[in-house]
Chains A and B, each alone.
Chain A
Amino acid sequence: MEPTVLVFLVLYYVVVVAIGVWAARKGASNSLEGFLLGGRKVGPLVTALTLQATAMSGFMFLGAGSEGYRMGYWALWYAAGDIGGGVVNLSVIGRRMRRLSKILGSLSSIEYLEHRYPSPATRLVAGTLTIFFLFFYVLAQFIAGGKGMALVTGMPYWLALLIAVGIIMLYTFLGGYFAVAYTDLFQSLVMLVGILWIFGACLVHLGGFSAANEAIQRIDPTYLSVWGKGLVKQDHWGEISGAVLIFSIGYMGWPHVVTRQMAMTHPATARTAAVYSTLWNLCFVSAPYLVGIFAIVILPDLDDAELSILRVADTLLPPAITGLVVAAIMAAIMSTADSILLQTGTIASRDLYQRFLEPNATDRQMVWVSRLLVIAIAVVGYLVALFRPPGVFSVVIFTTSVLGSAFLPCYVCAVWWKRANTPGAIASMLGGALTAFVWQVAGVDVATALHPMLVGVLASSALMVVVSLLTQRVAPLPERVLAAVEAARSIH
Protein backbone atom coordinates (compact mmCIF):
# COMPACT_ATOMS: atom_id res chain seq x y z
CA MET A 1 0.00 0.00 0.00
CA GLU A 2 1.30 3.46 -0.94
CA PRO A 3 1.95 5.57 2.20
CA THR A 4 0.53 8.66 0.46
CA VAL A 5 -2.80 6.89 -0.11
CA LEU A 6 -2.90 6.07 3.59
CA VAL A 7 -2.06 9.67 4.51
CA PHE A 8 -5.00 10.98 2.44
CA LEU A 9 -7.38 8.43 3.89
CA VAL A 10 -6.34 9.13 7.48
CA LEU A 11 -6.50 12.88 6.84
CA TYR A 12 -9.97 12.48 5.39
CA TYR A 13 -11.20 10.45 8.38
CA VAL A 14 -9.70 12.94 10.83
CA VAL A 15 -11.45 15.87 9.13
CA VAL A 16 -14.77 14.00 9.02
CA VAL A 17 -14.63 13.10 12.70
CA ALA A 18 -13.53 16.65 13.60
CA ILE A 19 -16.56 18.05 11.77
CA GLY A 20 -18.74 15.52 13.56
CA VAL A 21 -17.40 16.63 16.95
CA TRP A 22 -17.86 20.31 16.05
CA ALA A 23 -21.39 19.68 14.84
CA ALA A 24 -22.20 17.69 17.97
CA ARG A 25 -21.44 20.79 20.03
CA LYS A 26 -23.29 23.10 17.69
CA GLY A 27 -26.33 20.86 17.19
CA ALA A 28 -27.64 20.69 20.77
CA SER A 29 -27.93 16.93 20.61
CA ASN A 30 -29.66 16.61 23.99
CA SER A 31 -32.89 17.90 22.48
CA LEU A 32 -34.64 15.46 20.22
CA GLU A 33 -35.37 18.09 17.57
CA GLY A 34 -31.70 19.10 17.71
CA PHE A 35 -30.54 15.49 17.36
CA LEU A 36 -32.96 14.45 14.62
CA LEU A 37 -33.40 17.64 12.59
CA GLY A 38 -30.56 19.92 13.65
CA GLY A 39 -33.12 22.13 15.37
CA ARG A 40 -34.51 22.98 11.89
CA LYS A 41 -31.64 25.42 11.39
CA VAL A 42 -30.08 24.10 8.20
CA GLY A 43 -29.49 26.62 5.43
CA PRO A 44 -29.75 26.23 1.65
CA LEU A 45 -26.17 25.19 0.83
CA VAL A 46 -26.01 22.49 3.50
CA THR A 47 -29.56 21.36 2.67
CA ALA A 48 -28.69 20.97 -1.02
CA LEU A 49 -25.41 19.19 -0.49
CA THR A 50 -26.57 16.88 2.28
CA LEU A 51 -29.51 15.96 0.06
CA GLN A 52 -27.21 15.23 -2.86
CA ALA A 53 -24.51 13.50 -0.85
CA THR A 54 -27.14 11.28 0.78
CA ALA A 55 -28.78 10.44 -2.52
CA MET A 56 -25.43 9.77 -4.27
CA SER A 57 -24.11 6.72 -2.51
CA GLY A 58 -21.23 4.36 -3.15
CA PHE A 59 -23.43 3.40 -6.08
CA MET A 60 -22.00 6.37 -7.98
CA PHE A 61 -18.42 5.13 -7.72
CA LEU A 62 -19.02 1.39 -8.00
CA GLY A 63 -22.46 0.86 -9.54
CA ALA A 64 -22.46 3.75 -12.01
CA GLY A 65 -18.95 2.97 -13.21
CA SER A 66 -19.90 -0.67 -13.56
CA GLU A 67 -23.01 0.09 -15.63
CA GLY A 68 -21.00 2.43 -17.90
CA TYR A 69 -18.31 -0.22 -18.34
CA ARG A 70 -20.79 -2.99 -19.15
CA MET A 71 -23.37 -1.09 -21.21
CA GLY A 72 -21.68 2.05 -22.57
CA TYR A 73 -23.74 5.24 -23.02
CA TRP A 74 -27.01 3.49 -22.17
CA ALA A 75 -26.00 4.00 -18.53
CA LEU A 76 -26.44 7.76 -19.01
CA TRP A 77 -30.23 7.30 -18.84
CA TYR A 78 -29.80 6.99 -15.08
CA ALA A 79 -27.75 10.20 -15.00
CA ALA A 80 -30.31 12.00 -17.18
CA GLY A 81 -32.92 11.75 -14.42
CA ASP A 82 -30.49 12.03 -11.55
CA ILE A 83 -29.30 15.52 -12.50
CA GLY A 84 -32.80 16.84 -11.83
CA GLY A 85 -33.54 14.76 -8.72
CA GLY A 86 -32.68 17.48 -6.24
CA VAL A 87 -34.54 20.31 -7.93
CA VAL A 88 -37.63 18.15 -8.50
CA ASN A 89 -37.64 17.12 -4.86
CA LEU A 90 -37.17 20.63 -3.52
CA SER A 91 -39.53 22.36 -5.96
CA VAL A 92 -42.39 19.86 -5.67
CA ILE A 93 -42.49 19.00 -1.97
CA GLY A 94 -39.68 20.99 -0.32
CA ARG A 95 -41.37 24.11 0.94
CA ARG A 96 -44.76 22.59 1.70
CA MET A 97 -43.30 19.58 3.50
CA ARG A 98 -41.13 21.82 5.68
CA ARG A 99 -44.14 23.90 6.64
CA LEU A 100 -46.55 21.00 7.18
CA SER A 101 -44.04 19.01 9.25
CA LYS A 102 -43.53 22.03 11.51
CA ILE A 103 -47.28 22.60 11.91
CA LEU A 104 -47.85 18.92 12.70
CA GLY A 105 -44.80 18.77 15.00
CA SER A 106 -43.23 15.85 13.09
CA LEU A 107 -39.59 15.03 13.82
CA SER A 108 -39.09 12.07 11.48
CA SER A 109 -40.26 11.40 7.96
CA ILE A 110 -42.25 8.38 9.19
CA GLU A 111 -43.84 10.28 12.06
CA TYR A 112 -44.81 12.92 9.49
CA LEU A 113 -46.69 10.25 7.53
CA GLU A 114 -48.65 9.18 10.63
CA HIS A 115 -49.49 12.79 11.47
CA ARG A 116 -50.68 13.42 7.91
CA TYR A 117 -52.44 10.06 7.51
CA PRO A 118 -53.56 9.49 11.13
CA SER A 119 -53.44 5.84 12.19
CA PRO A 120 -50.96 3.68 14.12
CA ALA A 121 -51.03 1.37 11.08
CA THR A 122 -49.51 4.14 8.93
CA ARG A 123 -46.45 4.37 11.13
CA LEU A 124 -46.17 0.62 11.59
CA VAL A 125 -46.32 -0.10 7.85
CA ALA A 126 -44.08 2.83 6.86
CA GLY A 127 -41.55 2.19 9.65
CA THR A 128 -41.27 -1.52 8.95
CA LEU A 129 -40.92 -1.09 5.18
CA THR A 130 -38.34 1.65 5.60
CA ILE A 131 -36.15 -0.19 8.10
CA PHE A 132 -36.25 -3.38 6.06
CA PHE A 133 -35.25 -1.79 2.77
CA LEU A 134 -32.87 0.84 4.16
CA PHE A 135 -31.01 -1.98 5.83
CA PHE A 136 -30.23 -3.43 2.41
CA TYR A 137 -29.29 0.01 1.16
CA VAL A 138 -26.81 0.54 3.99
CA LEU A 139 -25.55 -2.97 3.44
CA ALA A 140 -24.68 -2.04 -0.15
CA GLN A 141 -22.71 0.93 1.21
CA PHE A 142 -20.79 -1.27 3.61
CA ILE A 143 -19.91 -3.69 0.83
CA ALA A 144 -18.81 -0.85 -1.43
CA GLY A 145 -16.66 0.61 1.36
CA GLY A 146 -15.09 -2.71 2.21
CA LYS A 147 -14.35 -3.59 -1.42
CA GLY A 148 -12.95 -0.16 -2.23
CA MET A 149 -10.70 0.12 0.78
CA ALA A 150 -9.53 -3.46 0.56
CA LEU A 151 -8.52 -3.01 -3.08
CA VAL A 152 -6.59 0.21 -2.61
CA THR A 153 -4.99 -0.42 0.78
CA GLY A 154 -4.39 -4.14 0.46
CA MET A 155 -6.10 -4.68 3.82
CA PRO A 156 -8.21 -7.79 4.29
CA TYR A 157 -11.86 -7.18 3.43
CA TRP A 158 -13.07 -7.71 7.01
CA LEU A 159 -10.67 -5.10 8.38
CA ALA A 160 -11.43 -2.50 5.68
CA LEU A 161 -15.14 -3.02 6.32
CA LEU A 162 -14.68 -2.70 10.07
CA ILE A 163 -12.83 0.61 9.73
CA ALA A 164 -15.42 2.10 7.36
CA VAL A 165 -18.37 1.02 9.53
CA GLY A 166 -16.62 2.18 12.71
CA ILE A 167 -16.00 5.70 11.38
CA ILE A 168 -19.58 6.03 10.12
CA MET A 169 -20.95 4.96 13.49
CA LEU A 170 -18.65 7.30 15.38
CA TYR A 171 -19.81 10.55 13.89
CA THR A 172 -23.45 9.54 13.50
CA PHE A 173 -23.27 8.64 17.18
CA LEU A 174 -21.68 11.95 18.10
CA GLY A 175 -23.89 14.59 16.67
CA GLY A 176 -27.10 13.32 15.07
CA TYR A 177 -28.48 15.23 12.11
CA PHE A 178 -26.14 18.19 12.42
CA ALA A 179 -23.08 15.96 12.26
CA VAL A 180 -24.55 14.09 9.31
CA ALA A 181 -25.49 17.27 7.42
CA TYR A 182 -22.17 19.07 7.89
CA THR A 183 -20.02 16.03 7.19
CA ASP A 184 -22.18 15.53 4.08
CA LEU A 185 -21.29 19.07 3.01
CA PHE A 186 -17.58 18.32 3.30
CA GLN A 187 -17.97 14.90 1.71
CA SER A 188 -19.93 16.23 -1.25
CA LEU A 189 -17.01 18.53 -2.04
CA VAL A 190 -14.50 15.68 -1.70
CA MET A 191 -16.66 13.56 -4.02
CA LEU A 192 -16.80 16.36 -6.56
CA VAL A 193 -13.06 17.03 -6.58
CA GLY A 194 -12.25 13.31 -6.67
CA ILE A 195 -14.47 12.42 -9.61
CA LEU A 196 -13.61 15.52 -11.65
CA TRP A 197 -9.92 14.84 -11.18
CA ILE A 198 -10.17 11.31 -12.46
CA PHE A 199 -12.52 12.41 -15.25
CA GLY A 200 -9.98 15.00 -16.36
CA ALA A 201 -7.17 12.44 -16.16
CA CYS A 202 -9.16 10.12 -18.44
CA LEU A 203 -9.68 12.87 -21.02
CA VAL A 204 -5.99 13.76 -20.99
CA HIS A 205 -4.98 10.10 -21.26
CA LEU A 206 -7.38 9.43 -24.17
CA GLY A 207 -6.67 12.71 -26.01
CA GLY A 208 -10.03 14.42 -25.39
CA PHE A 209 -13.72 13.54 -25.45
CA SER A 210 -13.98 12.98 -29.21
CA ALA A 211 -10.85 10.84 -29.32
CA ALA A 212 -12.15 8.77 -26.39
CA ASN A 213 -15.41 8.10 -28.22
CA GLU A 214 -13.57 7.19 -31.42
CA ALA A 215 -11.47 4.70 -29.45
CA ILE A 216 -14.63 3.19 -27.95
CA GLN A 217 -16.17 2.97 -31.41
CA ARG A 218 -13.21 0.94 -32.64
CA ILE A 219 -13.84 -1.61 -29.87
CA ASP A 220 -17.62 -1.83 -30.37
CA PRO A 221 -19.71 0.99 -31.89
CA THR A 222 -22.83 -0.11 -29.99
CA TYR A 223 -21.22 1.14 -26.76
CA LEU A 224 -21.89 4.65 -28.11
CA SER A 225 -25.58 3.96 -28.66
CA VAL A 226 -28.35 4.93 -26.23
CA TRP A 227 -29.59 1.33 -26.53
CA GLY A 228 -26.66 -0.33 -24.77
CA LYS A 229 -23.94 -2.75 -25.82
CA GLY A 230 -25.22 -5.01 -28.59
CA LEU A 231 -28.33 -2.80 -28.74
CA VAL A 232 -29.89 -5.12 -26.16
CA LYS A 233 -32.11 -2.33 -24.79
CA GLN A 234 -33.36 -1.11 -28.17
CA ASP A 235 -36.85 0.36 -27.83
CA HIS A 236 -37.12 -0.82 -24.20
CA TRP A 237 -38.91 2.40 -23.30
CA GLY A 238 -40.46 0.89 -20.18
CA GLU A 239 -37.00 0.20 -18.84
CA ILE A 240 -35.60 3.53 -20.00
CA SER A 241 -38.39 5.56 -18.42
CA GLY A 242 -37.86 3.67 -15.16
CA ALA A 243 -34.14 4.45 -15.30
CA VAL A 244 -34.91 8.17 -15.74
CA LEU A 245 -37.63 8.20 -13.08
CA ILE A 246 -35.84 6.29 -10.34
CA PHE A 247 -33.39 9.09 -9.56
CA SER A 248 -35.51 12.08 -10.63
CA ILE A 249 -38.94 11.76 -9.02
CA GLY A 250 -37.74 8.75 -7.01
CA TYR A 251 -35.98 10.95 -4.42
CA MET A 252 -39.39 12.14 -3.24
CA GLY A 253 -40.14 8.66 -1.97
CA TRP A 254 -36.94 8.07 -0.01
CA PRO A 255 -37.59 8.66 3.71
CA HIS A 256 -33.90 9.29 4.50
CA VAL A 257 -33.75 12.01 1.81
CA VAL A 258 -37.03 13.88 2.39
CA THR A 259 -35.99 14.39 6.02
CA ARG A 260 -33.73 17.10 4.57
CA GLN A 261 -36.79 19.20 3.72
CA MET A 262 -38.03 19.01 7.30
CA ALA A 263 -34.72 20.30 8.70
CA MET A 264 -34.54 23.47 6.55
CA THR A 265 -34.35 26.83 8.33
CA HIS A 266 -37.37 28.19 6.47
CA PRO A 267 -39.77 26.77 3.88
CA ALA A 268 -38.29 29.18 1.33
CA THR A 269 -34.83 27.66 1.89
CA ALA A 270 -35.90 25.11 -0.74
CA ARG A 271 -35.67 27.78 -3.43
CA THR A 272 -31.95 28.52 -3.17
CA ALA A 273 -31.16 24.94 -2.21
CA ALA A 274 -32.64 23.80 -5.54
CA VAL A 275 -30.15 25.96 -7.44
CA TYR A 276 -27.16 24.65 -5.47
CA SER A 277 -28.47 21.15 -5.99
CA THR A 278 -28.66 21.47 -9.78
CA LEU A 279 -25.23 23.09 -9.98
CA TRP A 280 -23.64 20.30 -7.98
CA ASN A 281 -25.43 17.62 -10.00
CA LEU A 282 -24.37 19.16 -13.31
CA CYS A 283 -20.74 18.89 -12.24
CA PHE A 284 -20.94 15.48 -10.60
CA VAL A 285 -23.61 13.11 -11.83
CA SER A 286 -22.53 12.13 -15.35
CA ALA A 287 -18.82 11.83 -14.55
CA PRO A 288 -18.81 8.39 -12.82
CA TYR A 289 -20.77 6.84 -15.69
CA LEU A 290 -18.39 8.41 -18.23
CA VAL A 291 -15.30 7.23 -16.37
CA GLY A 292 -16.78 3.73 -16.45
CA ILE A 293 -17.28 4.11 -20.21
CA PHE A 294 -13.72 5.39 -20.70
CA ALA A 295 -12.47 2.37 -18.76
CA ILE A 296 -13.61 0.22 -21.70
CA VAL A 297 -10.60 1.65 -23.56
CA ILE A 298 -8.21 2.16 -20.67
CA LEU A 299 -8.70 -1.24 -19.02
CA PRO A 300 -10.46 -3.52 -21.51
CA ASP A 301 -9.93 -6.75 -19.53
CA LEU A 302 -11.32 -5.91 -16.10
CA ASP A 303 -12.65 -8.92 -14.23
CA ASP A 304 -14.83 -6.89 -11.82
CA ALA A 305 -16.64 -3.99 -13.52
CA GLU A 306 -17.60 -2.49 -10.14
CA LEU A 307 -13.95 -1.65 -9.56
CA SER A 308 -13.56 0.17 -12.90
CA ILE A 309 -13.26 3.68 -11.40
CA LEU A 310 -10.84 2.55 -8.70
CA ARG A 311 -8.72 0.67 -11.23
CA VAL A 312 -8.66 3.65 -13.59
CA ALA A 313 -7.58 5.89 -10.70
CA ASP A 314 -4.89 3.42 -9.77
CA THR A 315 -3.68 3.29 -13.39
CA LEU A 316 -3.75 6.98 -14.33
CA LEU A 317 -3.18 8.96 -11.16
CA PRO A 318 -0.19 9.45 -8.88
CA PRO A 319 -0.59 7.85 -5.42
CA ALA A 320 -1.48 11.11 -3.66
CA ILE A 321 -4.37 11.76 -6.03
CA THR A 322 -5.45 8.12 -5.89
CA GLY A 323 -5.73 8.72 -2.15
CA LEU A 324 -8.04 11.65 -2.87
CA VAL A 325 -10.18 9.50 -5.17
CA VAL A 326 -10.40 6.77 -2.56
CA ALA A 327 -11.41 9.41 -0.01
CA ALA A 328 -14.08 10.58 -2.47
CA ILE A 329 -15.41 7.05 -2.78
CA MET A 330 -15.49 6.67 0.97
CA ALA A 331 -17.22 10.06 1.16
CA ALA A 332 -19.96 8.89 -1.19
CA ILE A 333 -20.44 5.71 0.78
CA MET A 334 -20.27 7.26 4.23
CA SER A 335 -22.45 10.27 3.49
CA THR A 336 -25.27 7.93 2.53
CA ALA A 337 -24.65 5.29 5.16
CA ASP A 338 -24.61 7.76 8.05
CA SER A 339 -27.94 9.25 6.96
CA ILE A 340 -29.49 5.82 6.67
CA LEU A 341 -28.17 4.75 10.05
CA LEU A 342 -29.54 7.89 11.67
CA GLN A 343 -32.85 7.45 9.87
CA THR A 344 -33.27 3.78 10.74
CA GLY A 345 -32.24 4.48 14.35
CA THR A 346 -34.84 7.23 14.49
CA ILE A 347 -37.58 5.11 13.00
CA ALA A 348 -36.85 2.13 15.20
CA SER A 349 -36.62 4.20 18.39
CA ARG A 350 -39.16 6.97 17.95
CA ASP A 351 -41.54 5.55 15.38
CA LEU A 352 -41.68 2.00 16.69
CA TYR A 353 -40.21 1.80 20.24
CA GLN A 354 -41.65 5.00 21.67
CA ARG A 355 -44.83 4.88 19.64
CA PHE A 356 -45.76 1.30 20.42
CA LEU A 357 -43.68 0.14 23.42
CA GLU A 358 -42.68 3.04 25.72
CA PRO A 359 -44.86 6.09 25.14
CA ASN A 360 -43.45 7.96 28.17
CA ALA A 361 -39.81 7.90 27.08
CA THR A 362 -38.11 11.29 27.54
CA ASP A 363 -36.23 13.16 24.78
CA ARG A 364 -32.90 12.27 26.35
CA GLN A 365 -33.82 8.61 26.61
CA MET A 366 -34.90 8.62 22.98
CA VAL A 367 -31.59 10.08 21.84
CA TRP A 368 -29.77 7.24 23.58
CA VAL A 369 -32.15 4.58 22.35
CA SER A 370 -31.58 5.91 18.82
CA ARG A 371 -27.82 5.78 19.32
CA LEU A 372 -27.90 2.23 20.64
CA LEU A 373 -30.02 1.17 17.69
CA VAL A 374 -27.54 2.79 15.29
CA ILE A 375 -24.86 0.57 16.80
CA ALA A 376 -27.04 -2.52 16.57
CA ILE A 377 -27.92 -1.89 12.93
CA ALA A 378 -24.29 -1.19 12.04
CA VAL A 379 -23.08 -4.35 13.76
CA VAL A 380 -25.68 -6.54 12.06
CA GLY A 381 -24.97 -4.80 8.73
CA TYR A 382 -21.25 -5.42 9.17
CA LEU A 383 -21.77 -9.10 9.87
CA VAL A 384 -24.09 -9.58 6.90
CA ALA A 385 -21.74 -7.60 4.61
CA LEU A 386 -19.02 -10.12 5.33
CA PHE A 387 -21.00 -12.68 3.34
CA ARG A 388 -20.89 -10.37 0.29
CA PRO A 389 -24.43 -10.30 -1.07
CA PRO A 390 -25.10 -9.30 -4.73
CA GLY A 391 -23.41 -6.39 -6.51
CA VAL A 392 -23.81 -2.81 -5.35
CA PHE A 393 -25.63 -1.74 -8.54
CA SER A 394 -28.37 -4.35 -8.30
CA VAL A 395 -28.90 -3.93 -4.54
CA VAL A 396 -29.21 -0.13 -4.82
CA ILE A 397 -31.51 -0.21 -7.85
CA PHE A 398 -33.69 -2.84 -6.15
CA THR A 399 -33.90 -0.95 -2.84
CA THR A 400 -34.50 2.49 -4.30
CA SER A 401 -37.14 1.15 -6.69
CA VAL A 402 -39.11 -0.37 -3.83
CA LEU A 403 -38.74 2.66 -1.54
CA GLY A 404 -39.68 5.10 -4.30
CA SER A 405 -42.67 3.01 -5.31
CA ALA A 406 -43.87 2.68 -1.72
CA PHE A 407 -43.62 6.27 -0.57
CA LEU A 408 -43.61 8.67 -3.51
CA PRO A 409 -47.40 9.17 -3.77
CA CYS A 410 -47.69 9.46 0.03
CA TYR A 411 -45.19 12.32 0.31
CA VAL A 412 -46.40 14.14 -2.81
CA CYS A 413 -50.13 13.82 -2.05
CA ALA A 414 -49.52 14.80 1.59
CA VAL A 415 -49.03 18.40 0.50
CA TRP A 416 -50.74 18.55 -2.89
CA TRP A 417 -53.99 16.56 -2.51
CA LYS A 418 -56.31 17.15 0.44
CA ARG A 419 -58.40 14.10 -0.34
CA ALA A 420 -55.48 11.71 0.13
CA ASN A 421 -56.47 9.79 3.27
CA THR A 422 -55.23 7.02 5.55
CA PRO A 423 -56.62 3.95 3.72
CA GLY A 424 -55.31 5.39 0.45
CA ALA A 425 -51.83 5.91 1.94
CA ILE A 426 -51.62 2.44 3.46
CA ALA A 427 -52.86 0.78 0.27
CA SER A 428 -50.39 2.87 -1.73
CA MET A 429 -47.39 1.97 0.47
CA LEU A 430 -48.15 -1.74 0.60
CA GLY A 431 -49.25 -2.05 -3.03
CA GLY A 432 -46.34 -0.02 -4.41
CA ALA A 433 -43.70 -1.86 -2.37
CA LEU A 434 -45.17 -5.27 -3.15
CA THR A 435 -45.48 -4.56 -6.87
CA ALA A 436 -41.89 -3.32 -7.25
CA PHE A 437 -40.57 -6.12 -5.04
CA VAL A 438 -42.35 -8.96 -6.83
CA TRP A 439 -41.70 -7.42 -10.25
CA GLN A 440 -37.98 -7.59 -9.65
CA VAL A 441 -37.64 -10.74 -7.55
CA ALA A 442 -39.84 -12.79 -9.90
CA GLY A 443 -37.91 -11.51 -12.94
CA VAL A 444 -41.00 -9.91 -14.52
CA ASP A 445 -38.89 -6.83 -15.32
CA VAL A 446 -36.71 -8.89 -17.64
CA ALA A 447 -39.65 -10.65 -19.27
CA THR A 448 -41.63 -7.44 -19.88
CA ALA A 449 -38.77 -4.92 -20.26
CA LEU A 450 -40.65 -2.69 -17.81
CA HIS A 451 -38.60 -1.19 -14.97
CA PRO A 452 -39.88 -2.09 -11.46
CA MET A 453 -39.78 1.58 -10.49
CA LEU A 454 -42.15 2.51 -13.31
CA VAL A 455 -44.62 -0.26 -12.56
CA GLY A 456 -44.37 0.25 -8.79
CA VAL A 457 -45.05 4.00 -8.96
CA LEU A 458 -47.98 3.49 -11.32
CA ALA A 459 -49.45 0.91 -8.93
CA SER A 460 -48.95 2.98 -5.77
CA SER A 461 -50.30 6.15 -7.43
CA ALA A 462 -53.39 4.35 -8.73
CA LEU A 463 -54.03 2.80 -5.32
CA MET A 464 -53.65 6.15 -3.56
CA VAL A 465 -56.19 7.82 -5.85
CA VAL A 466 -58.74 4.99 -6.11
CA VAL A 467 -58.73 3.92 -2.44
CA SER A 468 -58.77 7.52 -1.16
CA LEU A 469 -61.76 8.37 -3.34
CA LEU A 470 -63.62 5.18 -2.39
CA THR A 471 -63.13 5.73 1.36
CA GLN A 472 -63.76 9.48 1.69
CA ARG A 473 -66.96 8.90 3.65
CA VAL A 474 -65.81 6.09 5.92
CA ALA A 475 -62.33 7.48 6.63
CA PRO A 476 -62.40 11.28 6.42
CA LEU A 477 -59.32 13.18 7.57
CA PRO A 478 -59.68 14.89 10.99
CA GLU A 479 -60.39 18.63 10.83
CA ARG A 480 -57.05 19.52 12.45
CA VAL A 481 -55.14 17.64 9.73
CA LEU A 482 -57.21 19.25 6.99
CA ALA A 483 -56.54 22.65 8.53
CA ALA A 484 -52.79 21.93 8.69
CA VAL A 485 -52.71 20.77 5.08
CA GLU A 486 -54.67 23.85 4.06
CA ALA A 487 -52.20 26.08 5.92
CA ALA A 488 -49.26 24.40 4.19
CA ARG A 489 -50.99 24.70 0.82
CA SER A 490 -51.98 28.30 1.30
CA ILE A 491 -48.51 29.51 0.38
CA HIS A 492 -48.33 30.24 -3.31
Chain B
Amino acid sequence: MFGLPLTTTLLVFGFPLAWVIYTAVFFYRSRSWPRDETDAD
Protein backbone atom coordinates (compact mmCIF):
# COMPACT_ATOMS: atom_id res chain seq x y z
CA MET B 1 0.00 0.00 0.00
CA PHE B 2 1.30 3.51 -0.88
CA GLY B 3 4.33 1.88 -2.48
CA LEU B 4 5.51 0.54 0.87
CA PRO B 5 6.32 -3.03 1.93
CA LEU B 6 3.64 -4.63 4.13
CA THR B 7 5.73 -4.44 7.31
CA THR B 8 6.42 -0.76 6.76
CA THR B 9 2.72 -0.11 6.12
CA LEU B 10 1.96 -1.79 9.44
CA LEU B 11 4.58 0.34 11.18
CA VAL B 12 3.28 3.59 9.70
CA PHE B 13 -0.44 2.94 10.14
CA GLY B 14 -0.76 0.00 12.56
CA PHE B 15 0.84 1.61 15.60
CA PRO B 16 -1.24 4.81 15.38
CA LEU B 17 -4.37 2.67 15.05
CA ALA B 18 -3.37 0.67 18.13
CA TRP B 19 -2.92 3.88 20.15
CA VAL B 20 -6.31 5.15 19.03
CA ILE B 21 -7.88 1.92 20.29
CA TYR B 22 -5.92 2.15 23.56
CA THR B 23 -7.10 5.72 24.09
CA ALA B 24 -10.72 4.85 23.31
CA VAL B 25 -10.68 1.91 25.72
CA PHE B 26 -9.04 4.04 28.43
CA PHE B 27 -11.59 6.83 27.95
CA TYR B 28 -14.49 4.39 28.20
CA ARG B 29 -13.12 2.52 31.20
CA SER B 30 -12.40 5.74 33.10
CA ARG B 31 -15.90 7.16 32.64
CA SER B 32 -16.56 7.02 36.38
CA TRP B 33 -13.49 9.11 37.30
CA PRO B 34 -15.24 12.50 37.50
CA ARG B 35 -17.83 11.01 39.88
CA ASP B 36 -15.07 9.60 42.11
CA GLU B 37 -13.56 13.01 42.85
CA THR B 38 -13.44 13.87 46.55
CA ASP B 39 -13.31 17.19 48.39
CA ALA B 40 -9.63 16.56 49.07
CA ASP B 41 -8.98 16.59 45.32
Given contacts A76-B12, A268-B36, A492-B36, contact A282 B20 (CB under 8 A): yes
By secondary structure, the B interface counts as helix
Contact partner, A278, options B12, B23, B32, Cβ 8 Å? B23
A441 contacts the other chain (CB 8 A): no
- Interface size bracket, B side: 20 to 34
Segment at the B interface, from A3-11, A16-24, A208-216, A354-362: A208-216
How far is A87 from B19 in the complex, measured between Cα atoms in Å? 8
Contact A102–B33 (Cβ < 8 Å)? no
Contact A278–B30 (Cβ < 8 Å)? no
Determine how close the nearest CB of chain B comes to the CB of A223; give it in whole angstroms.
10
Segment at the B interface, from A77-85, A191-199, A255-263, A407-415: A77-85
Contact A274–B37 (Cβ < 8 Å)? no
How far is A6 from B37 in the complex, measured between Cα atoms in Å? 48
Which A residue's beta carbon lies closest to that of B36? Answer: A491
Contact B11–A224 (Cβ < 8 Å)? no
Contact B15–A268 (Cβ < 8 Å)? no
A77 contacts which chain B residues (CB < 8 A)? 11
Given contacts A95-B33, A210-B3, A491-B36, contact A275 B23 (CB under 8 A): yes
A225 contacts the other chain (CB 8 A): yes
Contact B41–A266 (Cβ < 8 Å)? yes
Determine how close the nearest CB of chain B comes to the CB of A42; give it in whole angstroms.
14
The number of A-B residue pairs with CB atoms under 8 Å apart is 93
How far is A88 from B5 in the complex, measured between Cα atoms in Å? 29
**Residues of chain A from 270 to 284 with CB closer than 8 A to chain B in the complex:** 270-271, 274-275, 278, 281-282
* Among B12, B19, B30, B37, residue most surrounded by chain A Cβ atoms (within 10 Å): B19
A266 contacts which chain B residues (CB < 8 A)? 34, 37, 41
Determine how close the nearest CB of chain B comes to the CB of A290; give it in whole angstroms.
8
Contact partner, A281, options B4, B18, B19, Cβ 8 Å? B19
Which A residue's beta carbon lies closest to that of B19? Answer: A84
Residues of B bordering A, CB below 8 Å? 2-5, 7-8, 11-12, 15-16, 18-20, 22-23, 26-27, 30, 32-34, 36-37, 40-41
Given A210-B2, A214-B3, 12 other A-B contacts at CB below 8 A?
Answer: A76-B11, A84-B19, A88-B22, A91-B26, A102-B40, A103-B40, A210-B3, A217-B3, A226-B8, A268-B30, A278-B20, A487-B40
Cβ-closest 3 pairs across A and B? A213-B3, A80-B15, A268-B33
